[in-house]
Amino acid sequence: MLSFSEVDVSRAARIRKHLGLAGQTIEDGELFRNKMLMKRRAWERGVAVPRFAQVTCPADLLDFISANGLPVVVKPYDGRGSAGVEILESEKDIRTFLARGSSTSKGFTVEEFVPGDMYRVDGLYVHGSPVIIHAGRYLKDCLAFIQGETIGTHGLDQGSPLNRRIETFTRHLLERALPFPKTSIFHLQIFLTPDDRLVLCEVASRLGGGVINEEVRLATGIDIKMSYVKACVGAYEEVGVNNLPPVPAGRIIIPPRRGTLRRAPAGARENA
């Protein structure tokens, strides 16, 4: 039973338990879905994380802001993508958030805003060893897409010092901090702060969204998704990550916009 999207991680774990199948358990999967549990576990094992707290009532949010200042980030504790994520930068933002009643839903967390660049890391482990760990830098943060802006990523030079630091961070998180399955795919987001610290944003035990799989495949020749499927059915041929050619690759995602089509090229009409 394999899962490739965020919403299927818990579903697949429940099915495995029901059928007695090997793989990620419900409890372990929760550490990759519940951002409170994820960050607490990572922090306890030496991973840098933003200061965070659960929001169960307005006082929780206001106490956190009083202690840490603005801006802060509020997000669903088990969200996916950037759905429901907001940056609160002013008293007006706080009042608007509280007026919606979200602070009493017990479904949100609040954390300090981490300045700096964001990076994504995607890869595959087979039998407890990393087959590929591929890092890329976001051109804009993920919230930009929700706000109607074009986003994208570009891969890092595999031999760069930053890439090596990100790989070390990733391996510590997955091999020592969290109960990551021996054979699994992952999607990780981390910040590089202005004072040169790597800080965890969040991590998932599933395929990265958008066309990340294609970006990695073009850069490395490895199809993470299909290699994972083959590994799970015993048909995977080992590929050494150190032997991969350093091919640059990137992607952009342009958000759809509502509008009116006024005219189209003649060729487009003929081929429609």
Residue 269 counted as domain residue: no
Distances (CA, A) of 31 to 16, 38, 59, 212: 17, 5, 26, 23
162 plus 239 within the same structural domain: yes
Peptide bond into 58 cis (omega under 30): no
Kindly report the backbone phi and psi dihedral angles of residue 154, in degrees, each rounded to the nearest multiple of 5, phi listed first: -135, 140
Q: Does residue 81 share a domain with residue 119?
A: no
Q: What is the pLDDT of residues 223-260, one digit of tens each?
A: 999 999 999 988 876 654 445 566 889 888 888 878 88
**Residue 25 DSSP class:** -
Q: Tell how strand 72-76 and strand 86-88 pair up.
A: antiparallel
Instruction: Give me the sheet containing 129-138, strands edge to edge.
Output: 198-204, 184-192, 117-126, 129-138, 151-155, 250-253
Tens-place pLDDT, residues 119-172: 999 999 999 999 999 999 999 877 777 677 888 899 998 889 999 999 999 999
* Residues 103 and 123 reside in one and the same domain: no
The pLDDT score that the predictor gives to residue 32 is 95
* CA dist., res. 58 & res. 66, Å (int): 12
Looking at 65, 88, 112, the residue that finishes a domain is 112
Examine residue 139 and state whether it is found in any structural domain, yes or no.
yes
Mark whether 151 and 202 lie in a shared domain: yes
What is the domain count for the chain? 2
Query: Among all chains, which residue has been given the structure tokens 């952009």?
Result: 252
Query: Is there a single domain that holds both residue 246 and residue 131?
Result: yes
Tell me: the pLDDT tens digits for 12-35?
A: 999 999 999 888 999 999 999 999
HEC readout, 41-95: HHHHCCCCCCCEEEECCHHHHHHHHHHHCCCEEEEECCCCCCCCCEEECCHHHHH
**How close are the terminal C-alpha atoms of the chain, in Å?**
40
The 10 Å CB-count burial string (b at 16+, else e) for 36-51 is ebbbebbbeeebebbe
Q: Quick one: 184 and 86 in the same domain? A: no
Contact indicator for 143, 82 with CB cutoff of 8 Å = yes
Residue 238 lies in a domain: yes
Shared domain for 119 and 97, answered yes or no, is: no
Question: Using CA atoms, how far apart are residues 210 and 143, in angstroms rounded to an integer?
Answer: 14
CATH number of the domain residue 97 falls in:
3.30.1490.20
**CATH number where 208 lies:** 3.30.470.20
In a domain, 228, yes or no: yes
Q: Average pLDDT in the 179-188 region? A: 96
Percent of the chain as helix, strand, coil, to the nearest 5: 35, 25, 40
Is the residue at 20 inside a domain? Answer: no
pLDDT digits (tens, 9 = 90+) for 66-91: 999 999 999 998 766 566 789 999 99
Question: Do both 218 and 242 map to the same domain?
Answer: yes
The answer, yes or no, to whether residue 5 has pLDDT greater than 90, is: no
Within-domain flag for 119 = yes
Residue 89 and residue 101 in one domain: yes
- Predicted local confidence at residue 80, as pLDDT: 63
What is the pLDDT averaged over residues 200-216? 92
Last residue in a domain, options 63, 87, 112: 112
The last residue of a domain, from among 87, 112, 137 = 112
137 and 249, same domain (yes or no): yes
269, pLDDT greater than 70: no
State CA 133 to chain mean position distance. Answer: 14
- What pLDDT is attached to residue 102? 79
Domain span at 221 = 115-253
107 with 126, same domain: the answer is no
Q: Is 34 exposed, middle or buried (0-12, 13-18, 19+ CB in 10 A)?
A: middle
In terms of domains, do 85 and 159 share one?
no
CA–CA gap between residue 188 and residue 174 (Å, rounded) = 10
**Residue 19 corresponds to which tokens in the numbers above?**
């059928």
Q: Is 7 within the bounds of a domain?
A: no
Residues 89-107 have pLDDT tens digits of 999 999 999 998 878 877 8
- Going from the C-alpha of 206 to that of each of 88, 212, 224, 227, the distances in angstroms are 29, 12, 11, 13
In this model, does residue 271 exceed pLDDT 60? no
Mean pLDDT of 48-55: 96
